[in-house]
Amino acid sequence: MFELIPAIDVSGGRLARLTARGPVPVEAFDGDPLAAGAAFVGAGVTRLHVVDLDLAVEGSVRNLDVVGALAGLGVPLQASGGAAVASEVDLLLGAGADRVVLGSAALADHALVEALVERFRARLAIGVETDGERIRSRGRRAVDLPLAETLAWLAGTAAAGFVVTGVPRVGGLAGPDLDGLRAVLALRRPTIGAGGIASLDDVLAMRDAGAEGAIVGRAALEGSLEPAAVLRALVAAEDPGPDGAGAGPNAR
């Protein structure tokens, strides 16, 4: 079943979003990440995604209490924030995340990535932040790598799965980077897409491209995309119906 995965970005224990100036507060749900997570779970989502912006920007894992609280909501929790070393992955897993996304900046060190993949296996997903034909990470650990060559190397690793983020699309509500997503999907591993999702059509486009899930951030927090309505449409689209033809991608 394709997963709709709301993202909960956190700084200093409160909802936030990352800007060029650093994390800024988000007013939705009165800034309470646990309230946001509970609302999404109540709407029927089967996984949450939490981003530690303090780790991404300052290199310090500071929101473990939020990770633990969100993990207690009863659905699997995927954690990210540019984790790049084993100790950061250990902290997030220990706080209750069931899976951690390795930051793209780590891809510059092949030996490190291969060691982490071997150690954490299915509990580690590889983050791939695409910007055209490049991989460009956000946050304090900057990296600029060729997409095609990096994917060719990753194809030979034991990476269990990937999270692909279209960097120029993040927060812009202008639709996902399907070309970047398809490039990673060519590795034929479980892959989740993120960045730019604003509508049901964007979610369906990711699903139809072959992704196993879509991470939605701003649109879900601000209410322009209602998780419960999207989940109903996804179920309807997968229902074969009385004639076996399915409800089709335009089902609402």
CA dist 146 and 238 (Å) reads 36
233: left (phi over 0), alpha (psi -120 to 50) or beta: alpha
Report the CATH fold assignment for 3-222: TIM Barrel (3.20.20)
CA dist 220 and 7 (Å) reads 8
CA dist 190 and 252 (Å) reads 26
Q: pTM for this one?
A: 0.92
Q: Render pLDDT for 154-207 as a digit per residue (tens, 0 to 9).
A: 999 999 999 999 986 776 677 899 999 999 999 999 999 999 999 999 999 999
Distance, C-alpha 106 to centroid of its chain? 17
Domain extent listing, the chain: 3-222
pLDDT value of position 242: 58
